Structure formats: structure tokens, C-alpha cells
Structure 1
């Protein structure tokens, strides 16, 4: 079990500094933003959480309509939603099956004053995707096929599960309405389903950031 109380508290003024920088259009580095999370989560940010610059680019695309509802599939500690909501003031949601990560994401969201954030403790396969307009996927199932740079050992790793999840995502995306937007960073592990057109490929980052629209 994880006990969030054992980790040193981040000073309240640090959260305010982060919020003020976004409000004033200033650059926030990954190291600075990651420092709002407990050390065991910030230490794996390079491998498990999206870089701030990637999130900003994805948010511009996914939240072009300020009324859009964006879902991060496999939201972890909530970094994508936290950065995205501070940057675009849109409705960013995250679904995460690890309870301790869901709990941490919710706690940090409150510290940042992000009332529009809503994190769901669930497996992505068990929720309805149709209320959302845009989706973000940072290869959320890769840990099932590798032992490298894992988040933790709380979820059994099965190669068969990886491929099962890929098929579930493809079916869910296929069923969504025309105009649905998807951003993938380092892909989601499979090919986009029929009907999705790639409208942009950004190779400036460590992995490819791809933007898709359902026709």
C-alpha cells in the first residue's frame, strides 16, 4: 500500500508559483513542474509522464475548442491534465486504474485549484468514451510488454493484455463521432482505426507526437 503522508509536503507557495507562471505565459520546465509530485513519481517522469512541451502542443490541438472535453487514457499522476488545464482552461479528464496514482492526481489538482479537472479511478475499458471530444494517449499499455522503467509492480504484466487493450482502444475510437481528435505520443501501441486521418506529425521531441481527426 502507498501512504501519501510519508512524503515531504511541497510548500504551498510552490503551487502558487507554478500557477502564476502559466497565468503569465511563462515557461515552466519539467524539473520544476515535476517537483510538485512525490519524489518516487517525479523520478520516473522522464519515462512515464509526458514532457511539458509535448503537453502544450497536444493541448493546443485537442482543446482548440475551449468547450472540448479531453480524456487522458492512463493518466497516471495527472501531469498531462494538470499542465493542460493550467494552459488552456478547458475540461481535462484522466482515467487511471492505479488507485494511489488516481489519489495523487486528485490531491495535486486541488492544490493547483483546478476545479475543472476530474480524475476517474477505473480501467479505460470500463468507461464510456462518447462524452469526450478529444483523447490523449502516451503509449499507456507498454508496461505490459517490458520490465524497463516500470511505474510499480501493482499491475500484473501480460503480453496478451497489451494486445487486448490495443484492440479495445481501436474499437472505442472507431465508434466515436466524426470530428473526434486524438493525439498520440510514442503511439498507443497499435494502428489508428479506419476513418482517422493524421493531420500533423511532430518529430521535435524524443518520441513522435501525432495528431489525428476522425473524418
Structure 2
């Protein structure tokens, strides 16, 4: 099990700088091609850890964790010092994430097959998402065709996400890359705004 994906990837030695090409090489080919559009870039994960390490982080939730890239690499950067939870509603991606978790030896990362719009995990200090509602948009580079794509569905999901985020306690943080699906988040203020890897990177604080 441990070598299921490592044998497919490029050779990696501890201390070598991590790159997207290297990390993605451990993925099945069909998921490698989606990486520029669906999985968080290494530079964004590194920026996130730089922010989190100075912000009193205790736990992180990735809303729509995909293949687990953000969670697993963040765990490595943090030297496994924080609890990290990835929520993903595709069984195939959860299974892949758990295999990669074993290979990268990140036991403090947990992946669950859950829809965060219906089962939202409150009580964490920080949340992260990379345009988590993209799969309901009529765009290209989708993971699959399972989810219904329509403007009505997107707006419905966006409203559900906003309502869930209002459950967060004051001072909780939401970190977004390429947005959360909207431009305005009631009950939050922006504390960081940057451009990274061709996308907008924001940190929102619950007021």
C-alpha cells in the first residue's frame, strides 16, 4: 500500500524543494492533467503555512479537498503540528487521498467523504477553500460530470455555503484561493489580499 503511488512518482529525497510537477507525479494521470485547474499549487500552500504559523492555528479544514494535496503538503510543512481535516464528497478522491496520506506519512490528516454544504464542521480555527463551488458552474476542466451544472444550482449552493460560514465563531479565519464563489461575505472582513500563482488569495476573518 505504501508504494502504490510513490513508485509512479519521480524520485524525491527529504530536503529537496517541492514542486507541483513533483507532487502531481504521484497522482494517476487523469488527475495530473487537472492539477493546474483543480488542485492547490505548492506556492499557495507554502504561503498559507507562512500565514498560519504566525496566526495561532490549531486546526484547519479544507472544504472540498480533492486529491488531498493541500492537506498533505500543509501537514508536511507544519511538521505534523496541527490537525487537518479534508472534506470531499467523491469516494474515488477520498480513497486516493487516504492512500497518499499513508505514502507521505501524515497521520494527523483526516479525510472524510462528506458534503460540507450539508455537514459543516464548526469549531475549527481556520478554513480553506479553492473555488469549492466550481463543479456546479458550466465551465471546463471539471473533475467529472456527476454534479448538476446550472446557474440556479450554483446560487443555491453559494447561499448554503454563506449560511454555514456564518456559524463560525468570531476571529475564525477563512482562506480562499480563486474565491469561494462570490465577492462579498457577510459577517467577515478581509485581512489579507494578494495575487499568487495567477489567482486571488484572501484571508477573511469572522467578525
State the TM-score, normalizing by the size of structure 2.
0.89
Residue 113 (str. 1) matches residue 108 (str. 2):
no
Q: Helix, strand or coil: the match of 2:169?
A: coil
- Say if 1:169 and 1:116 are closer, same or farther in 2 by CA, change over 3 A: same
- Say if 1:146 and 1:29 are closer, same or farther in 2 by CA, change over 3 A: same
Spell out the pairing of 1:1-215 with structure 2 (5 A cutoff): 9-11=4-6, 17=12, 20-21=14-15, 26-62=16-52, 64=54, 68-88=58-78, 89=80, 90-215=82-207
Bigger mean CA offset, 153-162 vs 168-177: 153-162
- Superimposed CA distance per residue, residues 129-160 of structure 1 (whole angstroms, 9 cap, x where no aligned partner): 21321111111112212231111122232322
Q: Distance in 1 between matches of 2:99 and 2:5?
A: 12
- Say if 1:42 and 1:171 are closer, same or farther in 2 by CA, change over 3 A: same
Q: Does the aligned pair in 1 maintain the 2:131–2:177 contact within 8 Å?
A: yes
CA shift for structure 1 position 164: 1.3
- Say if 1:39 and 1:98 are closer, same or farther in 2 by CA, change over 3 A: same
Unaligned stretches of 5+ residues in structure 1 = none
State the TM-score, normalizing by the size of structure 1.
0.86
Unaligned stretches of 5+ residues in structure 2 = none
More helix by share: 1
CA shift for structure 1 position 14: 5.8
Count residues with an aligned counterpart: 204
Measured on the aligned residues, the alpha-carbon RMSD in Å equals 2.4
CA shift for structure 1 position 76: 0.6
